[in-house]
Amino acid sequence: MGHNVAGSFGERTYPSRIIQALVDAKRLGEKTGAGFYKFDARRKAAPDPELAPFVERSRKARARLALRRPSRDSVDGRPGASRDGDSLEQ
């Protein structure tokens, strides 16, 4: 679903890689006892400190993406170059 949202709202969002990372690590939620939360034998969810590295990697990937992506206020990444050709600087 995340890729569908990113495709529909391209410049307002980005595809998060955290879901795929959790699936690859077999963190499938209640089914495996871990996902975004840790689940006990009674399937009660609790915060999982082991999730922190996944979140950190996702944030770093997002930061790298932001550095490569042009600003919303510019056409080609140059400050002051607007989409309609008018200068944003006065």
What domains are defined for the chain?
A: 18-68 (1.10.1040.10)
Residue 1, both tokens: 């679903």
Task: Give the lowest-confidence range in 5-9, 11-15, 85-89.
Answer: 85-89
Give 70's DSSP letter: P
Which is more confident, 13 or 26? 26
Query: pLDDT band for position 3 (50/70/90)?
Result: low
Candidates 64, 51, 62; CA nearest to 21 is 51
Contact 72, 82 (CB under 8 A): no
Total residues belonging to the chain: 90
For the chain, first and last CA: distance in Å? Answer: 42
What is the rounded CA–CA span in Å between residue 27 and residue 18? 11
Half-sphere exposure of 68 (CA within 13 A, CB side): 7
19-38: average pLDDT: 96
Residue 54 CA, chain-centre distance (Å), reads 11
Query: pLDDT band for position 62 (50/70/90)?
Result: confident
